[in-house]
Structure 1
Amino acid sequence: MRRLAFGCVFLAMLAMPLAAQEAPSESDQSATAFDAAAAWDEFEQVLRRGYAYIERDDIDVEAQLDRSRALAAKAPGKAAVRRIMHRTALTFMDPHLIVGPFEDDDYAIVMTAADLDARFEDGKAVIVDVRRGSPAFDAGLRPGDEVLSVDSKPARAAAQAPFGEVLPDPTANQFDYGLTLAVNGRRKGDRSLELRKANGQVRTFELGSTRDWADSLREREPVDLSFVGPRGDVAVLAPLNSLGNNDTITAFDAALKNAIAAGARAVILDMRETPSGGNTEVGRSIIGHFTDQVRPYQMHRIPALEREFTVPRQFVEYVFPREPFFGGPVFVLHGRWTGSMGEGIVIGMDAATGATTIGSNMGDLLGGLWNEQLELSGARVDLGGEALFHVDGTPREDYVANVPVEPASTARDGTDPVLAEALRLLEKR
């Protein structure tokens, strides 16, 4: 099993027993039949050894792995095995658990390549939130719209389709996850959504690929600075899905310096456009501007080490003060497109700075990301190898805002609900 860059140096230790079982060379493999069962076993070992969230009480993990293992054993080749692995990963409802390489007809990655959040409510499939400035937003889709069909499939059948044969009977939560995948379409090609609007009108929306749109956003500046409020003196700093770009450190420094020089009386840190996560250097650099003391911001736990050696490993990460310091009122906005390191910044701002957090459930990208390259199937696996927590012990994915607001990106009338709430609270203060 060949390793790529890992989110944690400890993973190298975990693979030693597996590494001893050297995979056949390419020439050897070409001379022998592909062993689908062995390829699946390699994948399952990675999950059981490294995935921090394999112990679950919301799904029957053992039943799922048994079902997928039986299907994989009958697969005719590597591509078929990878497809079963990919769909099995989706059953965990974790955008950080991904198996590639991808096919064009695989569903777009949520929430990076997504502009809609959806779930079932009282038996109806409904849009929960719409990413601002997206194709869906521009087309007029709004929270509360009922999804009648996706690409001519009834909503419930469309929600089951991403899992295929590996999950014939999804749970309610899996149906919700599948629905979000379905309405955001596949990696390549358009999507057709039949919706019932709030006024009862039934309309069909033809929307382009969310992946193509997400790719088009890569040329944005790392950080956006704007001013809002009745007097235009409230600075809004928004990292634009740039938390994995170390240039964001200096860009945020400069943006905050400019905000302070312009006389900002309050800062709104808008984390709602960070679906792809990032790295802790960028995260800690941002939080450090809002504390004047060294403070803890996030707790890490590495279950793989305890599984391997029976010795638990847990540690707390700290932020250090960083110039320029801003000591005025700070509000942190978050929602479904706040992912991974974005989620870490939200809980870190709550823990280390006393800022007021406002928003909905976040992206729920579970844990700190590790990567594996599988030799037998040629698959790449991304998974959360470190479980992450607020310093008070709350799992990051269970964090609830100081001021809960749903939807967090787009209200039914198209306005910005959490930005309005931040300004309301600031004037009240």
Structure 2
Amino acid sequence: MRTLIGRLFFLLIAISFLGCSAPVTEEDFDAESAWEELEGVLREQYAYLDRQDAAFEETIGAFKARAAKAGSIKEFIDLSQSFLRHFQDPHLNLGPYDENDFSVFPTGSDLRAVYEDEIFLIEDVKAGGTADLAGIRPGAELIEIDGLEPKEAVEAVLGVPFDSLSADKLTYGINIALGGYRNRQREILLKEEDGPVSYPLAASYQAIDELNNGPTLSFERIGEFGYIRFNNSLGNQETTRAFEDAISSLLDTEALIIDLRNTPSGGNTGVAEPILGHFVETKTAYQLYRTQKKGVPYTEAEMKTAYAKPNAPYYSKPFVVLAGRWTGSMGEGMTIGLDAIGAVEVIGAPMADLLGGIKTTKLKESNAWLEFGFERMYHVDGTFREDYEPGTMISPADRDANGDDPSLSLALSVLEKAIQDSK
């Protein structure tokens, strides 16, 4: 009997090892096979391939030719990371990372720049981030990032000549560059009214790390209104209890402001749905989705519905939502969900466009992992989540040139008018 059990044990061990292939060595690495594996997963399982422009097949061809010449696994991974940034999808990532990789965007971002009239301008500054605390304000012209001119910085991010890129890709590339390299101090040179000013900034992750050590959200009364701001905490189960406590404390307010502008890392429905439940009296749809699988494109998949179920205490008063450049993933889902279930208004800037529900798969030909959106998300009205924009747009949405909060000021005005109109 013991012999039989022993044989079964070793058989199970052998099967488990067969299921877990050994990492490919540098000697056995084949760059062409690694590229075919990466491209195959994207074409079969990535639910957002159809968002790419007409020139995208040319981009694939160009990177494929370069990837075939990669002399090492690291060179292949670095090249693949540059290639994937052309999708302009912060949810599409490939690792492992090292110290020479850029910070994950938008989590590792605290500045927003835009390309206009052949220069890069600071468009917004993340409230409470390192750049905000250093005094950087919208309107300044970007001159250098870590000693590189913007043109060079964009080329380092996207891996192709500056002149070959669209304005959208230039903007996407510069915003990744502004986040700097992982866990490294940055040096940002700006042209302001009084001339060039250099800003030494801590690694962009530092403010997020400090935030993670604090409360999951903050809340207060502003006159007769309640205000709740999430601290990049939609993946933390403690947030649901903290929100319940906040709502309970603010039940007697005339209206509520829900601030989702600091949710760049996203989260999960296990946190979001109980929060949404405080604003519904019956089971209510807040988001639609389709899942793409190998051999089944999302366009042919069943449209499914995500629901919020009632959760006490119920908040029956008017509420508005604040969203912006650092509203990401589940933050975007909550924004469209709150819009669907009855927000008076959504105020802010276009969101971060972290596309879809994500999963991670191992790429055995390169020892890499690929994180990508396999679920296509929709507003309950049937439009794509990534196409949603706040009903009341404002730019900048986090910090204005005076260091004030323009979205919050506008939200207070909107609620005051809503209360007056209801009387």
TM-score for the superposition, normalised by structure 2: 0.90
CA distance in 1, matches of 2:195, 2:160: 35
Please list the CA deviations of residues 148-167 of structure 1 after superposition, one character each: whole Å capped at 9, or x if unmatched. Answer: 12222222222222112598
1:211 to 199, 205, 230: 205
1:236 to 227, 233, 239: 227
Residue 110 (1) aligns with residue 99 (2) = no
The percent of aligned pairs where both chains have the same amino acid is 36
1:188 to 171, 180, 183: 183
- Structure 2 CA distance for partners of 1:208 and 1:407, relative to 1, 3 Å: same
- Structure 2 CA distance for partners of 1:26 and 1:312, relative to 1, 3 Å: closer
Give the letter for the 1:350 counterpart: D
- Structure 2 CA distance for partners of 1:323 and 1:107, relative to 1, 3 Å: same
Structure 2 residues without counterparts, runs of 5 or longer: 1-17, 419-423
RMSD after superposition: 2.1
Q: Which residue of 1 aligns with 2:68?
A: 73
2:349 to 347, 352, 360: 360
Map 1:309-388; keep pairs closer than 5 Å: 311-388=300-377
Tell me if the contact between 1:295 and 1:319 (Cα under 8 Å) persists in the aligned partners: yes
1:258 to 224, 241, 249: 249
CA distance in 2, matches of 1:176, 1:60: 18
4+ residue segments displaced more than 4 Å: 22-25, 29-32, 165-168, 308-311
Give the letter for the 1:428 counterpart: K
Tell me if the contact between 2:92 and 2:372 (Cα under 8 Å) persists in the aligned partners: yes
Tell me if the contact between 1:162 and 1:182 (Cα under 8 Å) persists in the aligned partners: yes
- Structure 2 CA distance for partners of 1:83 and 1:413, relative to 1, 3 Å: same
Q: Which residue of 2 aligns with 1:131?
A: 126
CA distance in 2, matches of 1:31, 1:25: 15
More deviation, 307-316/151-160: 307-316
Give the letter for the 2:180 counterpart: G
CA distance in 1, matches of 2:416, 2:175: 36
Give the letter for the 2:335 counterpart: V
Give the letter for the 2:220 counterpart: S
CA distance in 2, matches of 1:23, 1:76: 28
Deviation at 1:411, TM superposition (A): 1.0
Please list the CA deviations of residues 123-170 of structure 1 after superposition, one character each: whole Å capped at 9, or x if unmatched. Answer: 110111101111111111111111012222222222222112598722
Structure 1 residues without counterparts, runs of 5 or longer: 1-21
2:22 to 1, 26, 34: 26
CA distance in 2, matches of 1:130, 1:52: 31
Please list the CA deviations of residues 28-65 of structure 1 after superposition, one character each: whole Å capped at 9, or x if unmatched. Answer: x4595311111111111111111111112436322122
More deviation, 204-213/108-117: 204-213
- Structure 2 CA distance for partners of 1:119 and 1:307, relative to 1, 3 Å: same
Q: Which has the larger radius of gyration?
A: 2
